């Protein structure tokens, strides 16, 4: 029969060898030996876990740092995207408002044919030709001072009438020019909106990279956190197990051997007692 001294490798060795042991050999194993084997196993686990826990803690710290960094970058890009989106939408809204105002002016202003300015080039040329003709007349014709004065007055009248004609057209063309200005401003806002949109598109790809990086590292962090938690729990359980089995070895196994003592004295086993309790519960349920 194997001796307790030979089997001091621990409970796992006992379990491994149990299939090769006879019933007599199994019964010969004392509670004290099993308690010490379990204690040895617990102590070995407790000595191995801290190193693993440190490694997992480092892994958790690194993953958390990378996830946090990726999240900050992603959130920064999101803020830029939100700002660009607002800039784009505001510019589009302003452009739309200006186009509506310009269209209203166009609808209210009669359509003009030909000229688009109060003082077109052809009118300037015509005035200049008439003035040149009068000036030539002054230079080439020998007239009295009265004739000269009459020619000069005619020149002044031509200029005055031209200016009056231009002034009469300015009010009519002012709304048209204002409409053109509104349309030009609206186009500038559309260009601003387009630039903001293009910047958004570029940031979207960058944001997706940061988001994927964040998700990947966040998953790593969660896995590392779960492993760290399990190891911490295992270390705590091992320490409590060490304390418990040390206590049992010191004061004895009377509490653990209570069921065995009861059966040895002719009482019922734990399984038999459990069966009776189930049967009693079923009976009471039927009576209700």
The pLDDT, as a whole number, for residue 7 is 32
With respect to residue 123, please indicate whether it lies within any of the assigned structural domains: no
Q: 17-36: per-residue pLDDT in tens?
A: 556 667 677 667 777 787 78
Q: 38-87: per-residue pLDDT in tens?
A: 888 888 888 888 888 888 888 888 888 888 888 888 889 889 989 989 99
On the question of pLDDT at 8 being above 50, the answer is no
Q: 120-143: per-residue pLDDT in tens?
A: 788 888 888 887 887 777 777 665
On the question of pLDDT at 261 being above 80, the answer is no
With respect to residue 26, please indicate whether it lies within any of the assigned structural domains: yes
Percent of the chain residues topping a pLDDT of 70: 77
With respect to residue 165, please indicate whether it lies within any of the assigned structural domains: yes
With respect to residue 59, please indicate whether it lies within any of the assigned structural domains: yes
Instruction: Select from 17, 39, 41 the least CA-distant residue to 29.
Output: 17
The pLDDT, as a whole number, for residue 166 is 78
> How many domains is the chain built from?
1
pTM, whole model, 2 decimals?
A: 0.46
The pLDDT, as a whole number, for residue 86 is 92
With respect to residue 146, please indicate whether it lies within any of the assigned structural domains: no
The pLDDT, as a whole number, for residue 90 is 92
With respect to residue 141, please indicate whether it lies within any of the assigned structural domains: no
With respect to residue 232, please indicate whether it lies within any of the assigned structural domains: yes
With respect to residue 248, please indicate whether it lies within any of the assigned structural domains: yes
Average pLDDT, the chain: 78
- Domain limits for position 214: 11-118+156-276
Q: 157-193: per-residue pLDDT in tens?
A: 888 888 888 777 777 677 777 888 888 999 998 999 9
């Amino acid at each position: 029969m194997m001796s307790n001294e030979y089997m001091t490798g621990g409970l796992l060795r006992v379990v491994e060898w149990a299939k090769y042991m006879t019933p007599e050999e199994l019964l010969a194993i004392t509670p004290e030996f099993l308690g010490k084997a379990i204690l040895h196993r617990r102590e070995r686990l407790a000595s191995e876990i801290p190193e693993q826990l440190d490694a997992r803690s480092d892994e958790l710290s690194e993953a958390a740092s990378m996830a946090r960094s990726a999240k900050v970058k992603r959130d920064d890009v999101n803020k830029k995207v939100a700002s660009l989106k607002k800039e784009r939408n505001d510019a589009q809204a302003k452009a739309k408002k200006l186009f509506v105002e310009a269209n209203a002016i166009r609808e209210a202003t009669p359509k003009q044919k030909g000229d688009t300015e109060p003082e077109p080039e052809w009118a300037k040329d015509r005035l200049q030709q008439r003035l040149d003709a009068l000036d030539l007349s002054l230079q080439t014709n020998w007239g009295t001072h009265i004739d000269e004065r009459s020619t000069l007055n005619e020149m002044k009248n031509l200029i005055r009438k031209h200016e009056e004609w231009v002034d009469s057209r300015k009010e009519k063309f002012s709304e048209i020019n204002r409409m053109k200005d509104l349309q030009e401003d609206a186009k500038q806002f559309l260009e601003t909106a387009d630039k903001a949109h293009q910047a958004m598109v570029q940031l979207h790809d960058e944001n997706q990279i940061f988001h994927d990086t964040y998700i990947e590292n966040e998953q790593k962090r969660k896995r590392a956190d779960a492993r760290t938690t399990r190891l911490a729990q295992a270390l705590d359980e091992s320490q409590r197990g060490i304390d418990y089995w040390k206590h049992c070895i010191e004061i004895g196994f009377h509490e653990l051997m209570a069921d065995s003592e009861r059966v040895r004295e002719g009482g019922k086993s734990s399984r038999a007692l459990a069966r009776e309790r189930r049967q009693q519960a079923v009976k009471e349920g039927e009576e209700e």
